[in-house]
Chains A and B, each alone.
Chain A
């Protein structure tokens, strides 16, 4: 194989190699693209499930415990086991990876959204009720906007850990940058390939985290800037 040839040609198997990046720019970019897409899909689907779940838990106090317990159990189950549960049914496609990641991200978003909602000051809630808001109107115009910092904390944690977890998808052949990391390991321990995958992975997490932090600032212009978010 081509990769094997370059690995052998390079003296000393360096940790970083411009040559490797030039020769494999296409493969690296493909892996990065797959990684980003998988992360985006997983976080968006998880948010679409988790935020309504948190709202249900907020409205019906008796459901708070069960919802947190269920998502907590899913979070405790090791990621590899989650993929193992899903794979026999969905096969070795990227759907398996996305579903596994979604199950894993739920808890982080549910818990932080719920924390954001319950931290809405009681006076504000009372004032809204006194002004004649219905429950859903209060949710949309008072509770959710004030819970944005909590929701975004959940999204940021979920995004960063999802970026790291996508790599476990190599198990079913869809690990994004994980393909590079494990591919390099299996390819005569080709250090440049491993480290390229790792560094891009951490950078992707950092960039997405900063983007979400920026989104948070933009959505909450009233927030106290002196406090670290």
Chain B
């Protein structure tokens, strides 16, 4: 029996949460909600995404499955969006069927050349990419046909649409924000239930749903293996929650009390303190309008001014000052399943780091703390990974839902059995 009063109190809370969760149904994709999100993205996000990419016509050819089926439509056809100087971007489908509430113009695919010439666009985005991207979706055959239809004058104006698509997908309307928050709460509840079910000495990481991991003091990781959770472990769990094409994943951390412990030991409290300090620093230094790469530079500078050592990989740097806690960052997008990586990203990796952070960007405040504990030996350190769903607003970074790691007074979950 490892139980202590403060942990028992927390567990009671978790059990209540479980009970409430059991009453909840999985999120249902109501047609009205799906239509609302589609319509508002066209009305509010598309004009900005086209403008900021300097595009006045976007041609997107769909033949069956496509990352933009949800946003644009499931049917094959040539989808064309034209900025004609009005607040509303003209939406056309040639050679296909689509929702008449959303689209303005329909016609045969053979009209493509004339359609484009009539609108005389200066810069035409087409759904291909010049660098590795999941948005490189047009077939060679279709690309050839489109360029032929456009003719020499307009085909010379064609550019890749990958960045435009990334910006369009990354832009969030309020109904998406609300949905995102509900998904975050769902995954938080799942994580809290999972942590509450751990029995030290019996539960294996592979028994727990989600991405479950424990690192030892040298940084060696057990990840979803048959490793049995032990007292003194810091167990990390990432778990997703989905609704159709919408997805997010949240994180939680549990500390397993050792026999005789009546609370979190000082070094665990210390690493948690670093996590909170770093989070505040991030929240106050991320704003809409900068690229991910620019933001990362600012965060690194702020971290180092605050006495931390930034690491560009999620591995403890044995050559660094052993007095300094090390921090790794990977703030990737959340919300749409197809654009978690190919989206604005505050991270040392990925082409999304060159995209601007849009207003209402929904993303994972994902960072890793490696805190050296010199008294335990050279290179020995504690590790935690934080992963909270967040959003960029005019005020900075807000946490959309109550997260497992929300409170300074409930720093880390424990287990009493």
A and B interact = no
Residues of A within 8 A of B (CB): none
